[in-house]
Structure 1
Amino acid sequence: MIHLAIHLAGEAEIVGPIHYWWMYPIERWLYFFKSLIGNRACPECSIAEGYIANECMTLCSRYLHRINTKFNRPEGNYDGGLATSNEDLSIFYLPGKNLGAKVSCELEANELEQAHIYILKNCDKVIPYLQEFAQNHIDTVQNSDQEFIEWFKDMVAQLHKTDNSRLIENLFSLSRGPTKYSTYSNCYILNGHKFHIEDLDQMLRTKNCGVVVVGENDKDSENVYYCGIFTDVIELQFISNRRVILFRCT
Structure 2
Amino acid sequence: MVGLSVFSQRVRPFSGKKYVMLDRKEVDKAHWYVLYNCDEVQPYLNEHEDELKQTSNANLYTRQEKEFPTWFEKRMTNMLESGLVDATDKLYCLACKPDVRVHTYTGCIVDGVRFHTKELDDHRTTQNSGVYVPGVFTGGSHDYYGVLLSVMKLTYLDMNQVFLFKCKWFNTDETSRDLNRRMIRHDYNLTSINTSSTWYEDEPFILSNEAQQVFYLDDDKLGSSWKVVQKIQLRHVWDVPKLEDEDVDEDCLDLVANDAYQQDEFNNIQWFVQEESLENPHLHRDDIEPEVIASNVVSNQWMEQGGLNDFMCDEIEEEDDIHDGDEEEAISTDEDSD
Asked if these proteins are the same fold (TM beyond 0.5), I'd say: yes
- Cα deviation code 1:103-124 (max 9, x no counterpart): 1001111101110110001100
Q: Is the 8 A contact 2:49 2:64 kept in 1?
A: no
Structure 2 distance, partners of 1:163, 1:212, is 42
Q: Please point out which of 192, 198, 223 is paired with 2:112.
A: 192
Q: Is the 8 A contact 2:27 2:98 kept in 1?
A: yes
Q: How many residue pairs align between the two structures? A: 163
Letter in 2 for 1:237: T
Q: Is the 8 A contact 2:79 2:87 kept in 1?
A: no
SS in 2 for 1:143: helix
Residue 14 of structure 2 is matched in structure 1 by 99
1:175 aligns with 2:95: yes
SS in 2 for 1:153: helix
Structure 2 distance, partners of 1:164, 1:238, is 22
Q: Is the 8 A contact 1:89 1:167 kept in 2?
A: no
Farther off after superposition, 93-102 or 181-190? 93-102
Unaligned runs of 5+ in 1: 1-85
Q: Please point out which of 115, 136, 141 is paired with 1:223.
A: 141
Residue 242 of structure 1 is matched in structure 2 by 160
Q: Please, what TM-score do these two structures have when normalized by structure 1?
A: 0.61
Give 1:162 deviation, angstroms: 3.0
Residue 117 of structure 1 is matched in structure 2 by 32
Residue 20 of structure 1 is matched in structure 2 by none
- Cα deviation code 1:136-182 (max 9, x no counterpart): 11126353212111111111111111338696111111111111110
Structure 2 distance, partners of 1:135, 1:200, is 45
Q: Please point out which of 58, 68, 75 is paired with 1:155.
A: 75
Give 1:217 deviation, angstroms: 3.3
Structure 1 distance, partners of 2:145, 2:132, is 5
Give 1:100 deviation, angstroms: 2.0
Give 1:98 deviation, angstroms: 0.7
Q: Is the 8 A contact 1:230 1:248 kept in 2?
A: yes
1:135 aligns with 2:50: yes
- Cα deviation code 1:184-236 (max 9, x no counterpart): 11110012111000111112222010111122234x2x221111001100111
Q: Is the 8 A contact 1:159 1:168 kept in 2?
A: no
Letter in 2 for 1:190: V
CA-based RMSD = 1.8
Runs of 4+ in 1 over 6 A off after TM superposition: 164-167
Q: Is the 8 A contact 2:80 2:87 kept in 1?
A: no
Letter in 2 for 1:249: C
Q: Is the 8 A contact 1:88 1:166 kept in 2?
A: no
Structure 2 distance, partners of 1:105, 1:240, is 20
Structure 2 distance, partners of 1:194, 1:167, is 36
Residue 212 of structure 1 is matched in structure 2 by 132
Q: Is the 8 A contact 1:101 1:185 kept in 2?
A: yes
Q: Please, what TM-score do these two structures have when normalized by structure 2?
A: 0.46
Q: Is the 8 A contact 1:104 1:181 kept in 2?
A: yes
Give 1:243 deviation, angstroms: 0.8
Q: Alpha carbons of 1:143 and 1:123: their partners in 2 closer, same or farther (altered >3 Å)?
A: same
Unaligned runs of 5+ in 2: 169-338
Higher fraction of strand: 2
Letter in 2 for 1:238: Y
Q: Alpha carbons of 1:217 and 1:237: their partners in 2 closer, same or farther (altered >3 Å)?
A: same
